[in-house]
Homo-oligomer: A and B are copies of this chain.
């Protein structure tokens, strides 16, 4: 239940204010050079406290690798790693032991398990995504050898949206601003919006777009393990995600088949398509074109204003968050979306070695 993937399999553990969070990445190829500096740099992209638009919880998010690496290279055995929780302020959450925060997982965990670690949201905290980013960094190191790249970016915050087509943007600019939007003008507006919302104690949602390039033909399995279906699962497994679309997505419904079909043509490197409304996936299988998709994130449920709710005994009470929280998850969700994409693609790449011709 806490595992993801079929050949490359990430199992994660840990609560927001427990001893540590961590993961075990099984099925990772042997012989890959593990560039720990790169892993750290990826962790920095997700780290809390990185800018004024994120939570001020200050975690160094130091990764300790416990196994699966020998003399700097992966051995093919499970790579386990842990990240100790250091900057807990559990006292901020003491009042939550008896209260269910609106639109949080508090209530359903209590009902399902009869017990919950209420400190910082426990297992349901977005802190767990640090583990995904670490594992995703390892996946990216392997994908790099296959010539596959994954790049996500913020394409909408609140009602500020940029042009949908990723090729209209210079994706090298994504890391040039704190919201991770490749359009500097929009980025500034998004940043201002988040700061305004933060000041009012409120939160706002947004959209993360992602594009993978260099994906070979043949990743994805009919029927239920379509690459698109597994990407959807991967994205919806991220905290606060509410929607997924790939290729021309929801917008495709208003057009006509004759307009939207991607015509096959002879390209320089072989068969290619004139357009890519399919988003690089046809019949659930990658067709060699760029894979792109979008993920909607709701406004974080934790707001600093007082809200009405009920407690464990069913009485109506009020609650206001005291912990340190993100006014908008999207800037920090960018590396998480990339990580889940990388894990999914590497898993399907490995699986594709076992399927098809002998």
Contact = CB atoms under 8 A, between A and B. Distances in A.
Interface string A198-225: 0001111111000000000110111111
A159 B13 CA distance: 45
Contacts of A91: none
Interface string A34-73: 0000000000000000000000000000001111101001
Given A77-B123, A252-B299, A264-B308, 7 more contacts: A2-B223, A20-B67, A29-B358, A31-B114, A108-B218, A206-B253, A245-B250
B24 A13 contact: yes
A340 to B, nearest CB: 9
A125 B287 CA distance: 18
A95 interface: no
Interface in A309-341: 309-310, 314-316
Given A104-B283, A123-B222, A300 B257 contact: yes
A293 B111 CA distance: 23
Copies of this chain in the oligomer: 4
Contact of A245 (B64, B229, B242, B260): B242
A108 B286 CA distance: 7
Contacts of A245: 242-244, 250, 296
Contacts of A297: 253
A20 B109 contact: no
Given A73-B115, A111-B217, A103 B13 contact: no
A305 to B, nearest CB: 6
Nearest to A23: B24
Contacts of A195: none
Interface string A262-276: 111110001101000
A113 B68 CA distance: 12
B261 A66 contact: no
B224 A299 contact: no
A66 B260 contact: no
